[in-house]
Amino acid sequence: MSPAGGPVDGEGTVTRSIEVTPGNFLIEMAVESVGLLPSPRPGQFYMVDCFDGEGGGREHVLRRPLSVNEVPSWMSGSASVSFLVEVTGAGTRSLCSMPPGSRVRLLGPLGVAFDISSAPVLMVAGGMGIAPLFFAARVMDERGAPYELMAGFKTGASVYPRLGELKGEFQLWTDDGSEGVVGMVSDGVERKLSKSDFSSCLACGPEAMMAHVAALCEEAGVPCQVSLVSRMACGTGACRGCVRAARSEGNICVCSEGPVFDSRRVVFHGSDER
């Protein structure tokens, strides 16, 4: 238990698990002890124990950081969060195969959220980068705040099917042109930035995509926030496991100072860690 305001290590129950696109699952969990918690905000994440407790949990010692995709409800006695999870290894495979009713431990909400206090906002999502940006778009929908979402996927089959639920404008891109515009989503950003006055840009996706978007935003003078992925152990800034080099001052700690950063602080990697 923790005083109001801090993350809480609590239990969740899987209430729904749907393979929304091949290899990608939308997992909804009912979470406990919500009375003490502020509602998760777009960009924040939970450290989720993806394995059941057999053997005292000795086989797998690390939780997995999962970005919040939506908060379907947030009231005492009826609180839930959903995660969009890509099966990439043992942890995500285990989590995605859990049937409804499975109990999991999760610590959160953690990290720094996107700043979406001003509008209009340009959102650029690549692949699973849609997870936190879908959430940001939903929150802006609730406020009636304007935004444009550009979402890129490998192919039409991997397009996040819930994009149609959004009220704001969105534009689809696919690598193979099977749906929407053909090409990399970042290819359309320059034109978008030149046509409208955005107060900020939010980007989440592959490193190369975020690097490209960040560079275009910097050129256009539009503040850009990026949400980074990193291998993590503690999720609270204690172990320094998720740290990476910053552009001008030493290191940035992805879990506690991020995962959302002003793009100007970030040195982007040439490829994605897996």
Q: Is-contact 261 247, C-beta < 8 A?
A: no
Q: Is 2 in the site for another protein (CB under 8 A)?
A: yes
Judged by beta carbon, residue 223 or residue 241, the one nearer another protein is 241
Considering the rule CB under 8 A, would residue 238 count as an interface residue with another protein? Answer: yes
Q: Which CB sits closer to another protein, 195 or 274?
A: 274
Q: Which stretch binds another protein (CB under 8 A): 12-20, 58-66, 177-185, 207-215?
A: 58-66
256, 257, 259, 262: CA torsion to nearest 10? 170
Interaction between residue 233 and another protein (CB under 8 A): yes
Cβ of 63: how many Cβ atoms within 10 Å? 24
- The 10 Å Cβ neighbour count of residue 144 is 9
Q: Does 61 bind another protein (CB under 8 A)?
A: yes
The minimum distance between CB 272 and another protein, in angstroms, equals 11
The C-alpha atoms of residue 127 and residue 105 are separated, in whole angstroms, by 27
Which of 72, 146, 168, 241 touches another protein by CB under 8 A? Answer: 241
Smallest distance from the beta carbon of 99 to another protein, in angstroms?
22
CB of 209 to another protein, least distance (A): 19
Residue 57 in contact with another protein, rule: CB under 8 A: yes
DSSP 120-148: -EEEEEEGGGHHHHHHHHHHHHHHT--EE
Q: Which of residues 37-56 bind another protein (CB under 8 A)?
A: 49, 56
What token pair was written down for 268?
């982007």
Q: Which is nearer to another protein, 178 or 230 (CB)?
A: 230
Q: Which of 16, 236, 262, 265 binds another protein (CB under 8 A)?
A: 236
Number of residues that bind another protein (CB under 8 A): 39
Select the residue interacting with another protein from 59, 77, 101, 195 (CB under 8 A): 59
DSSP letters for 237-258: SSS-TT-EEBSSSSEE-TTTT-
AA letter at 246: A
Interface region with another protein, contact rule CB under 8 A, candidates 38-46, 147-155, 185-193, 226-234: 226-234
93 binds another protein (CB under 8 A): no
Do strands 181-182 and 251-252 pair parallel, antiparallel, or not at all (unpaired)?
unpaired
Strands (E), 76-188: 78-86, 103-110, 121-126, 147-153, 169-174, 181-182
| 3-state SS, residue 210 | helix
Q: Give the interface with another protein as residue ranges (CB under 8 A).
A: 2-3, 6-9, 49, 56-63, 90-91, 105, 107, 230-234, 236-245, 250-251, 256, 273-274
